[in-house]
Amino acid sequence: MSGKVFIRYVGIGVASLAMVGGALYLLERGMAPPAAEKAGTTAANPTPPPVADEPAPATAAQSDQLVSLVGEARRLAADGKFDEAVAVLRRADAVYAGWSGTEQARSEIARMRTPEGQLKTQLERARFAIEHDDRAAAERALAEAERLNAQAPQIAELRQALQESEQKELHRSSRVIELLTRMREDIARGDFAAADGDLNAAERIDLQDPAIRDARRELARAREAKEKERKN
């Protein structure tokens, strides 16, 4: 074999090896993607976690029962019966566990049970009683507030408000007595129109005063007697 022919065969073999190597390289790239690419694909599409079953909402009957029980618990707590209030909330839990209204009431009652919460309750009770002219209830609430914290500045403020309310009450009572006295003088003169005016003025001051109701009956009897006298 001549040298030229030998060199030609060698060149063809080298070229063939190069082609085979290139084909294997491309095949490997197509069949096996890099590990980093696989990890990126997995991270972009994570498997969603299983969804937990949510509890069924309270029925209408359960809701009515829960509202009633929570209201009862709040009333007991307002009266200072905290252990009984907590027991009622446990009954509400038995009807439907985890109801938001029950949990809210439980938090409120826990705050009310502290010395600060009890003091606040008594001060609010005293203020309400003063606004509604209930002196006895105001005195009871203030006495309880003093037992809890005699140095609370609100106690002195409320006692001042109670005293001013009592003075206004005395003034109203005096004015009612004055108007009823004038009514009777009007009746004695036979001036029933003026008597009506004085009695109406007294009612505008304090409609609930028993003396005013008695005076209304008194005026009616006097008017009837006057009518009978006129007819005779």
Domain-wise residue ranges, the chain: 59-113, 167-231
* pLDDT recorded at residue 49: 57
126 in Cβ contact with 138 (< 8 Å)? yes
Check residue 46 and report its DSSP letter. Answer: P
Tokens of 202: 């007294």
Length of the chain: 232
Would you say residue 143 has pLDDT above 90?
Answer: yes
What pTM was estimated for this model as a whole? Answer: 0.53
pLDDT classification of 176: cutoffs 50, 70, 90: very high
Using alpha carbons only, what angle is made at residue 78 by residues 73 and 83, rounded to the nearest 5 degrees?
Answer: 55
Q: What number is the average pLDDT over the span 67-74? A: 96
Within 10 A of 190 (CB to CB), how many other CB atoms are there?
Answer: 11
pLDDT of 2 > 70? The answer is no
CA 84 and chain centroid, separation: 20
Cα atoms in the 13 Å half-sphere on the side-chain side of 132: 10
47: confidence class by pLDDT, cuts 50, 70, 90: low
202 neighbors 176 (Cβ within 8 angstroms): yes
How many other CB atoms are found less than 10 A from the CB of residue 19? 10
Cα–Cα separations (whole angstroms), residue 160 to 140, 155, 167, 170 = 15, 9, 11, 15
Contact 199, 180 (CB under 8 A): yes
The arithmetic mean of pLDDT across residues 112-122, rounded, is 93
What is the arithmetic mean of pLDDT over 124-153?
Answer: 93
* CA–CA separation, 17 and 128 (whole Å): 104
